Amino acid sequence: MCGVAGFCDFNKKSSIDVLKNMTDVLLHRGPDSSGYKVFMDPGAHIGLGHRRLSILDLSPKANQPMADKRQDYTIVLNGEIYNFSEIKKVLEDDGFVFDSKSDTEVVLKSFIRWGVDAVDKFIGMFSFVIYDKRLRKLYLFRDRAGVKPLYYHYNNGVFLFSSELKSFHKAPQFIKEIDQDALSLFFQFGYVPTPKTIFNNTFKLRPGHYLELDISSAKLSEVKYWDVIDYYNRPRLDISESEATNELEKILESAFRYRMIADVPVGVFLSGGYDSSAVAAILQSNSSARLKTFTIGFHESKYNEANEAKAIADYLGTDHTEYYCTTKEAQEMLEQLPGVYDEPFVDTSAIPTMLVSKLARQQVTVALSADGGDEAFAGYNHTENYVNRLRKNQRIPRFFRDIAGNEAKLVTDATKRYKGFNRYGIALINRLWKHRELYSADGLLPIITRPRCPNYKMYRLFRPYSDSNMDSTLFANFGLLSENVSDLDKCLSTDYQTYMTDDILTKVDRATMSFSLEGREPLLDHRIIEFAARLPSAYKYDNGTKKKILKNIVHRHIPKKLMDRPKKGFSVPVERWLRHELSEYLDIYLNKKELEKHGFFNYEYVCRLKKWYVETGNDYSMVWSLLVFQMWFNEWMD
């Protein structure tokens, strides 16, 4: 795990000093070594920078930027290619000679051998950049699920790239202009959806895509090499549930085993839920050494899973470490969020994720997380809600559904801009909107996307406000699913491309890397989702049983009585803190002077929201989103 940064400056004004500043702000991603290289192409100055966290081949031979012998190709890579040994053997049979034992050199020589098609051979998490000096092209790749981030900015003849947005603030050509469409999307979802970022002319590279920048023409192209939609659109596998369970366990064993490959200590985050228990159980059953597992506990029982995790660890026989976090420690982490998450980000589970990362880093350099199980195997409550609502929808004749949906839409569209509603009027509009969700054919999409803030509140908050463009995000891929795809799988595929990538994976990447810890995602091996996407829906969700096939596998290793309990969210009580211990934050950041620094929000409405929240606890999502944005603005824009 590392950090990459660089530029392609067609104005030929960027220097190695700019490159160093852009790269070294990523010190937390790679404290072990650094490297910088600037190329003077006839048409542009090209810079490749790297911060290294040493995981495979700890010697200087694996340092980056790394070039081939003839200096025709140069690479910087963030992430890991787990099957690099197998690919290396194929390349050696073709006559390639290796100087290091690193996966980076395998990626470089794979590209020399197969070009852009080399990416199809990789099992791993990665974002990497290759400069092809002969063809005068720059290539940027991102892994299939989007585990590793890669941002880029292109404006006024300057192309910038980095593992995190904070690098761009070190480039003098970067203009910090907030994209107001992205800002409204943030308030809707709690994150900025791919490919947008909070800034104009700045983007996230889509998972499963690569960029090609032709230096001779300055033309930038984005190319898709993998898409989970393609697998959901394929015919379902003709396979029994027993056969599917056996086959899935084999794939899981391979994926988990790959992610233990390292030249440094490796551990596992263990919450006690099915996903992390599956990872720990399968790994421990195939190892004579005791697996290191880590859990953060809370004294508030509503948020605490430490007891359950310890019971699982004791049963499996892992070397388990748990730490009970105090309220003060969690609140101190809250203050670090704007610096760690350099784009507005509301997920409060970032706090315990940072805490468990800090805990694990004291003993290991790599930690396996267990994200992706809910998206692949139907673990979320909203997935169940979507399926149940759709079943209700389908009991009503289509003619009446369309009439009801159209009527509700007309009323909500006509009234949502009006600013003078009391809470009873607002409740009526909200009911109409829910009515539309229930009866309108396309109105079910909001149940999947789960917007945090209703449109009518957005109109009152912003000055001025226009509807955000979801068609420019990966939510639009919902329309690419075949009619034959089940309603359940439509929900799962949408979550996999949006919420999982932009919320869950962003959370884990920044939290782990803030403590120079490599986070690996064994359940996001692409072979797992390619198999799961083609399974019959009933193997994943069946009559109220979520993650059915995954649970069957876990029960082979852990008694059902140890696992059979209500699911708890991995979070902290920020909602209560803001009304009591941390209420001063609302006065510090949501006052008139602070809000007028940018002028995006209606101050009078913010005051009403704040007062209503403190008195009743309602509108927490809106108030927390406002506070997060204001803290971010003070950190990065003020």
Per residue, what are the HEC states of 612-638? HHHHHCCCHHHHHHHHHHHHHHHHHCC
Cβ pair 195, 203 in contact under 8 A: yes
Number of other residues whose CB lies within 10 A of the CB of residue 526: 18
Mean pLDDT of all residues in 95-113: 97
Cβ pair 354, 511 in contact under 8 A: yes
Instruction: For residues 196 and 243, state if they share a domain.
Output: no
> What is the pLDDT at residue 454?
74
Instruction: For residues 261 and 159, state if they share a domain.
Output: no
Instruction: For residues 51 and 194, state if they share a domain.
Output: yes
pLDDT above 90: residue 31: yes
Last residue within a domain, chosen from 473, 495, 517: 495
pLDDT above 50: residue 622: yes
Which ranges constitute the DSSP H helices of 177-240?
A: 180-189, 228-232
Instruction: For residues 367 and 397, state if they share a domain.
Output: no
Mean pLDDT of all residues in 351-376: 96
**CATH number for the domain harbouring residue 294:** 3.40.50.620
- Model pTM score: 0.93
Determine the straight-line distance between the first and last CA of the chain, rounded to whole angstroms. 31
Q: What is the chain's percent helix, strand, coil content, to nearest 5?
A: 50, 15, 35
Instruction: For residues 292 and 432, state if they share a domain.
Output: no
> What is the pLDDT at residue 406?
59
Residues 590-613 have pLDDT tens digits of 999 999 999 999 999 999 999 999
Residues 410-456 have pLDDT tens digits of 555 555 444 444 444 444 445 444 444 443 444 456 566 677 777 77
Q: What is the mean pLDDT of the chain?
A: 91
Last residue within a domain, chosen from 563, 593, 615: 563
Last residue within a domain, chosen from 226, 254, 275: 226
Q: Which of 2, 8, 325, 491 is catalytic?
A: 2
Cβ pair 55, 33 in contact under 8 A: no
Instruction: For residues 108 and 208, state if they share a domain.
Output: yes
Instruction: For residues 261 and 303, state if they share a domain.
Output: yes
Cβ pair 316, 292 in contact under 8 A: no
Instruction: For residues 66 and 96, state if they share a domain.
Output: yes
Q: Residues with Cβ < 8 Å from 555, sequence gap 6 or more?
A: 563
Mean pLDDT of all residues in 166-187: 96
Mean pLDDT of all residues in 566-570: 67
Task: Say how far apart CA 26 and CA 127 lie, in whole Å.
Answer: 15
Of the listed ranges 246-255, 299-308, 314-323, 563-572, the least confidently predicted one is 563-572
> What is the pLDDT at residue 403?
61
Cβ pair 270, 276 in contact under 8 A: yes
How many helices and strands, by DSSP H and E, does the chain display?
A: 27, 17
- Tell me whether residue 568 is in a domain: no
Mean pLDDT of all residues in 360-374: 97
Instruction: For residues 103 and 220, state if they share a domain.
Output: yes
Mean pLDDT of all residues in 262-274: 95
Residues 41-80 have pLDDT tens digits of 999 999 999 999 999 999 999 999 999 999 999 999 999 9
Instruction: For residues 454 and 471, state if they share a domain.
Output: yes
> What is the pLDDT at residue 153?
98
Report how many domains make up the chain: 4
Max Cα distance, the chain (Å) = 75
Number of other residues whose CB lies within 10 A of the CB of residue 349: 18
- Tell me whether residue 569 is in a domain: no
- Tell me whether residue 68 is in a domain: yes
Instruction: For residues 585 and 479, state if they share a domain.
Output: no
- Tell me whether residue 59 is in a domain: yes
Structure tokens at 531: 């198999």
- Domain range for residue 480? 381-495
For the question of residue 453 being annotated catalytic, the response is no
Q: Tell me the C-alpha to C-alpha distance, in Å, between residue 102 and each of 109, 146, 267, 431, 546.
A: 11, 22, 21, 58, 40
pLDDT above 60: residue 88: yes
Instruction: For residues 184 and 281, state if they share a domain.
Output: no
Residues counted in the chain: 638
